[in-house]
């Protein structure tokens, strides 16, 4: 019972106001398309999970399974060079004999790539559970392994699917991985003239899962003469909480770059290693979220640098969710430099509990870097630290305080597919402010672009990068290009595609820092690098989403649709935004969603068992609410024409009427436009057409009578050359009639298609032809043969 109370009091997050707003959805979802990304993959090669950007060489160096590639950084589909790095047959057999899979585990997975200098790179691979490192060069357009293989234990993991992290600082390699085949001996290691490592003790590292590490230049402009720090992010089993099962928590740790170990205590061990819990509380009560990836947004002044981190739930419930939290470097540094320590105490039958240490601390402060105060006391390096300080830090590496996010809550909370990786780009908008735009990879092969506006998280879009829904394993950002790697391939995409927004309102409501509506060219364009120069020509409103400055647009022209009695009719309407609500009006009145005759979705409306009462005008509108304002747009208008119900009318009369109408239209005669309420006036208009048809039929009959008299000799055949046989109606040739008119589809002028009635025994087919070289668009209607003479 005590365990549950402690767990509930410490780990379960309390709900706070505004939490429901954190569950954001993307405004646009871009499905997978081959034409909006550049992709690289090679047949038979997998796990493209390691990247190194070499801007000086114009390369993206890519590490995969048993291969290293040099790709053109501007077009990764161009592979400039490849070097294979396969395991030997002997190594593969040795790996298999230890119970590993020969085709999955016993291969060489490139897991680490670092630049040493302008000409040399350092690469490490798992090498069939026998980690190996080597040096690689690029010259004359070719990659080359130097063949100077080194032991990779402590630098690269044995298991290709185990997380690890590393960073190169001033030619010194810092790595966080495992030291043995079983993966049971974790280590944070530095390879330098003074190699150091962590103590193999559960209070230091307890089954960790390493995620990320990077250096912060804290020695710059430091009045205390502080040292640079290397920060590590990982998750591990908590030792400080009493729980019936293993409880995983997220951690941040750090060491001093100038650490040289202790003289007698902690020899060749870190004397500055400290760690603390990283908090990312969500509104709902849950177990702590587990860190998955981190990105360091560097600033010229290191105190303004920020770490962005992705977390996922560890709960076994079906409601899987992820969160993104941001942390100031100064907040993390404050916990380590001034926070309280935790200590072990023995209570209740020798059970070990972790409580806050309230005793007196040794001097210098345990875990602190060698600063001006220490040097004034004669301690010039960590080798000079007293044993009392070293013994304390050996037994008390854990801090009592947790690091809280900048906003006190997650920037983003997302349910559904779990988030895996992220990168952040700092974008300067036309308003002169900088906005951090996050690109977040998911487990189903998508990337979400999101930005936080004064505590409001806005997901601009979600783009599906991989057709096979492979998890995003690595993300890199360079010069407005995003690179994403997975098990199946690598994708390159631009950070923005402003051409996706077709209208000013859609462009402004997207609230994309990269995009703005250019008034001069009337399109959504990329914001220039110096937005102040074209500020007056751009319309953008990021925080407020104010689209009232947008110019008015031309009205949407209706599309004519035929109503076939008894059929199901679908009217398409796609909103520009997932955040917009779609409404339909019929004959000027709102269409109720509860009506069982209709099914309304984001794809459009489906009318079941259409009847004459369904004829009329349908208007599709979207309403998007942003910052208390409603923006209504008319997306589509349909005029649904009722099909003729006059089945008993002579079919040839109906056909000739259509031909007559086509003829008058093609001849330039005026055809009155049908008003919105044309369905009510349709019968009277048909009467007028029938009268014209009757006259046409009488004319035809008179012509036939004249021909018959000529044939029988009742009239002198002075105008004929001889007898001619009259073909039966069954053998009448097909006739073509031209029809012109106007209609609008998606805002573009197209040919008009009248509501054509087709009955049994008569088939009328319409073909559409667009002529763009100055000709008039036409419709060709072909009257096919009448199959029964009795119909004449």
pLDDT tens, 349-373? 667 889 999 999 999 999 999 999 9
What angle, rounded to 10 degrees, do the helices at 678-712 and 651-666 form?
A: 100
Query: Could you tell me the pLDDT band of residue 318, with boundaries at 50, 70 and 90?
Result: low
> What are the pLDDT digits (tens) for 734-759?
333 333 333 333 333 343 333 433 33
* pLDDT for position 348: 72
Range 156-159 contact pairs with CB under 8 angstroms and sequence separation of 24 or more: 156/111, 156/112, 156/124, 156/125, 156/126, 156/131, 156/132, 157/111, 157/126, 157/131, 157/183, 158/126, 158/129, 158/130, 158/131, 158/183, 159/105, 159/126, 159/129, 159/183
> What are the pLDDT digits (tens) for 249-306?
999 999 999 999 999 999 999 999 999 999 998 888 888 999 999 999 999 999 999 9
* pLDDT for position 688: 62
* pLDDT for position 704: 82
Looking at per-residue pLDDT, the higher value among 416 and 647 belongs to 416
Say whether pLDDT at 242 is over 80.
no
> What are the pLDDT digits (tens) for 607-635?
999 999 999 999 999 999 999 999 999 99
* φ, ψ dihedrals at 423, nearest 5°: -135, 160
> What are the pLDDT digits (tens) for 567-613?
999 999 999 899 999 999 998 899 877 777 888 888 899 999 999 99
Distance CA 169, CA 153 (A): 19
The structural architecture, per CATH, of the domain 559-642 is Sandwich (2.60)
Query: Could you tell me the pLDDT band of residue 717, with boundaries at 50, 70 and 90?
Result: low
* pLDDT for position 716: 60
Looking at per-residue pLDDT, the higher value among 668 and 151 belongs to 151
Say whether pLDDT at 787 is over 80.
no
> What are the pLDDT digits (tens) for 517-536?
999 999 999 998 775 666 67
Say whether pLDDT at 761 is over 90.
no
> What are the pLDDT digits (tens) for 396-445?
999 999 999 999 999 999 988 999 999 999 999 998 899 999 999 999 99
C-beta of residue 242 within 8 angstroms of C-beta of residue 2: yes
**CATH for 498-539, among 3.40.50.1010, 1.10.3720.10, 3.30.460.10, 3.30.1680.10?**
3.30.1680.10
* pLDDT for position 607: 93
Query: Could you tell me the pLDDT band of residue 21, with boundaries at 50, 70 and 90?
Result: very low
Bridge partners of 468, per DSSP, are none
Average pLDDT, the chain: 83
Q: What is the strand order of the sheet 581-586 is part of? A: 559-563, 629-642, 616-626, 581-586, 589-590
Residue 130 burial (CB count, 10 A):
19
Say whether pLDDT at 644 is over 70.
no
**Mean pLDDT computed over 165-170:** 97
DSSP string, 190-256: EESSS-EE--S-TTT-SS-EEEEEEEE-TTTT-TT-PPPEEEEEEEEE-SSS--SS--EEEEEEEEE
> What are the pLDDT digits (tens) for 126-155?
999 999 999 999 999 999 999 999 999 999
Distance CA 52, CA 308 (A): 20
> What are the pLDDT digits (tens) for 71-84?
999 999 999 999 99
* pLDDT for position 34: 67
| Per-range mean pLDDT, top range of 15-29, 345-359, 542-556, 635-649 | 542-556
Q: For residue 5, with 0-12 CB atoms within 10 Å meaning exposed, 13-18 middle and 19 or more buried, which class applies? A: exposed
> What CATH number was assigned to the domain covering residues 199-416?
2.130.10.10
> What are the pLDDT digits (tens) for 590-603?
987 777 788 888 88
Say whether pLDDT at 308 is over 80.
yes
* pLDDT for position 715: 66
Give buried/exposed letters for 534-569 (b at 16+ CB in 10 A, else e): beeebbbbbeebbbeebeeeeebbbbbbbbeeeeeb
Looking at per-residue pLDDT, the higher value among 119 and 658 belongs to 119
């Amino acid at each position: 019972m005590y365990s549950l109370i402690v767990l509930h009091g410490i780990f379960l997050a309390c709900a706070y106001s505004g939490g429901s707003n954190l569950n954001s959805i993307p405004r646009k979802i871009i499905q997978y398309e081959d034409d909006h990304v550049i992709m690289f993959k090679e047949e038979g090669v997998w796990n493209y999970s390691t990247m190194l950007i070499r801007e000086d060489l114009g390369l993206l160096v890519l590490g995969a399974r048993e291969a290293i590639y040099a790709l053109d950084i501007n077009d990764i589909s161009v592979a400039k060079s490849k070097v294979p790095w396969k395991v030997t047959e002997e190594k593969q057999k040795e790996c298999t004999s230890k119970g590993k899979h020969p085709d999955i585990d016993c291969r060489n997975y490139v897991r680490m790539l670092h630049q040493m200098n302008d000409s040399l790179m350092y690469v490490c691979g798992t090498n069939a559970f026998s980690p190996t490192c080597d040096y690689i060069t690029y010259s004359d357009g070719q990659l080359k392994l130097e063949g100077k293989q080194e032991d990779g234990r402590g630098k690269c993991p044995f298991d290709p699917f185990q997380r690890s992290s590393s960073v190169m600082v001033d030619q010194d390699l810092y790595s966080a991985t495992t030291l043995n085949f079983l993966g049971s001996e974790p280590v944070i290691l530095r390879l330098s003239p003074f190699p150091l490592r962590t103590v193999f003790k559960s209070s230091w590292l307890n089954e960790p899962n390493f995620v990320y590490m990077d250096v912060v230049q804290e020695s710059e402009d430091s009045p205390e003469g502080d040292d640079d720090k290397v920060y590590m992010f990982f998750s591990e089993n908590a030792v400080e909480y009493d729980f019936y099962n293993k409880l995983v928590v997220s951690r941040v740790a750090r060491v001093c770059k100038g650490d040289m170990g202790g003289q007698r205590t902690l020899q060749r061990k870190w004397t500055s290693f400290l760690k603390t819990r990283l908090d990312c509380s969500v509104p709902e009560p849950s177990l702590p979220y587990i860190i998955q990836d981190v990105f360091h947004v560097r600033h010229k002044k290191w105190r303004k640098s920020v770490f962005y981190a992705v977390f996922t739930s560890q709960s076994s419930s079906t409601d899987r969710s992820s969160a993104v939290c941001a942390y100031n470097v100064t907040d993390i540094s404050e916990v380590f430099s001034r926070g309280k320590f935790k200590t072990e105490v023995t209570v209740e039958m020798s059970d070990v509990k972790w409580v806050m240490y309230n005793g007196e601390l040794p001097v210098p402060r345990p875990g602190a870097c060698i600063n001006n105060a220490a040097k004034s006391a004669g301690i010039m390096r960590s080798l000079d630290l007293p044993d009392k300080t070293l013994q304390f830090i050996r037994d008390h590496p854990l801090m009592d305080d947790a690091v809280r996010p900048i906003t006190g809550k997650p920037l983003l909370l997302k349910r559904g597919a779990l988030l895996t990786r992220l990168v952040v780009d700092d974008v300067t908008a036309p308003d002169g402010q900088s906005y951090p735009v996050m690109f977040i990879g998911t487990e189903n092969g998508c990337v979400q672009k999101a930005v936080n506006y004064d505590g409001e998280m806005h997901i601009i879009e979600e783009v599906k990068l991989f057709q096979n829904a492979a998890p995003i394993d690595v993300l890199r950002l360079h010069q407005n290009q995003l690179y994403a790697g997975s098990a199946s391939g690598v994708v390159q995409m631009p950070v923005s595609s402003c051409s996706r927004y077709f209208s000013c309102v859609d462009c402004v409501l997207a609230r994309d820092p990269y995009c703005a509506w250019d008034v001069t060219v009337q399109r959504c364009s990329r914001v220039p690098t110096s937005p102040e120069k074209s500020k007056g020509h751009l319309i953008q409103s990021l925080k407020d989403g104010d689209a009232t400055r947008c110019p008015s647009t031309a009205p949407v022209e209706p599309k004519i649709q035929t109503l076939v009695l008894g059929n199901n009719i679908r009217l398409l309407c796609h909103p520009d935004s997932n955040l917009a609500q779609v409404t339909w009006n019929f004959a000027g009145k709102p269409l109720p969603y509860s009506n069982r005759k209709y099914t309304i979705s984001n794809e459009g409306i489906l009318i079941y068992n259409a009847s004459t009462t369904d004829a009329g005008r349908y208007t599709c509108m979207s309403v998007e609410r942003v910052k208390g304002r409603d923006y209504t747009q008319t997306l589509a208008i349909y005029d649904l024409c009722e099909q003729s119900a006059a089945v008993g009318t002579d079919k040839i009369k109906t056909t000739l009427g259509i031909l007559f109408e086509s003829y008058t239209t093609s001849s330039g005669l005026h055809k009155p436009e049908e008003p919105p309420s044309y369905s009510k006036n349709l019968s009277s208009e048909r009467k007028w057409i029938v009268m014209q048809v009757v006259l046409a039929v009488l004319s035809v009959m008179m012509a036939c009578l004249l021909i018959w008299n000529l044939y029988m000799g009742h009239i002198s055949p002075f105008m004929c050359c001889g007898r001619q046989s009259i073909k039966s109606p069954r053998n009448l040739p097909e006739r073509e009639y031209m029809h012109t008119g106007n209609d609008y589809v998606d805002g573009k002028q197209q040919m008009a298609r009248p509501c054509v009635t087709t009955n049994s025994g008569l088939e009328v087919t319409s073909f559409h032809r667009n002529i763009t070289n100055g000709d008039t668009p036409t419709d060709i209607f072909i009257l096919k043969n009448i199959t029964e003479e009795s119909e004449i």
